[in-house]
Homo-oligomer: A and B are copies of this chain.
Amino acid sequence: MLSEDPIKHLVEQLAKLPGIGERTALRLVLHMLSSERDSVPTLAAALMEAAERVHECSCCHMLTALDVLCSTCISISRDRSVVCVVATVQDLMALEATNDYKGLYHVLHGTLGPMEGIGPKELRIASFLSRITDSNREIKEVIIATPPNVEGEATALYLAGQMSGLKVNITRIASGVPVGGDLQFADRLTLSRALHLRQRF
């Protein structure tokens, strides 16, 4: 099926992406068709390959192109006694970039949001709970690293509630004034929390 106007059709497809408007899409298309035409098949192939090969890890639900499990879950150098629960793939990547965490992960693919109709069943929560149970106490600690906003806190509370019967230590990442940040520019909630969660020096 040939489209009447391939430029317009491509602009429409690109403009469906978040944060890309019609004008930006047109700019990208004209750039690709003028100076970067050779790279278009490479980009198209990269899109197809990603769509065909990338899937969720059957254990932690991180996106992976490996057969069943992701590189973290099959790694022999990771600490299998700790699981860090994150809301999104990006959050996992941000934590990995710290090079400071050697445990495993669990990606929920979202946070609870009753207003948007996102309940526990829309997230990877059931598989997380059975993962803890099935580990036969190999998992000693669960770090809840959902974001410190309304939805993230609700999700953290829900998860903690669901795990109350399980023999596992539940922790929450710290929240307060960012390192290098200025107290005068921190919002009131962040400052209140930084005060409440103060630690012995």
Contacts and interface: CB of A to CB of B under 8 A. Distances in A.
Interface residues of A, number: 48
Contacts of A47: 10, 32, 40-41, 43-44, 47
Main secondary structure of the interface of A (DSSP, over half): helix
Contact of A44 (B3, B27, B44): B44
A23 B16 CA distance: 18
A159 interface: no
Contact of A30 (B6, B30, B48, B90): B90
A90 B19 CA distance: 20
Given A30-B90, A109-B34, A10 B50 contact: yes
25 contacts: A5-B65, A6-B50, A6-B53, A7-B63, A9-B49, A13-B46, A14-B43, A16-B39, A17-B36, A19-B27, A20-B28, A26-B90, A26-B93, A27-B90, A30-B63, A30-B88, A30-B90, A32-B47, A32-B50, A40-B47, A40-B51, A41-B47, A43-B47, A44-B47, A44-B48
Interface of A: 2-3, 5-7, 9-10, 13-14, 16-20, 24, 26-34, 36-37, 39-51, 53-54, 63, 65, 88-90, 93, 109
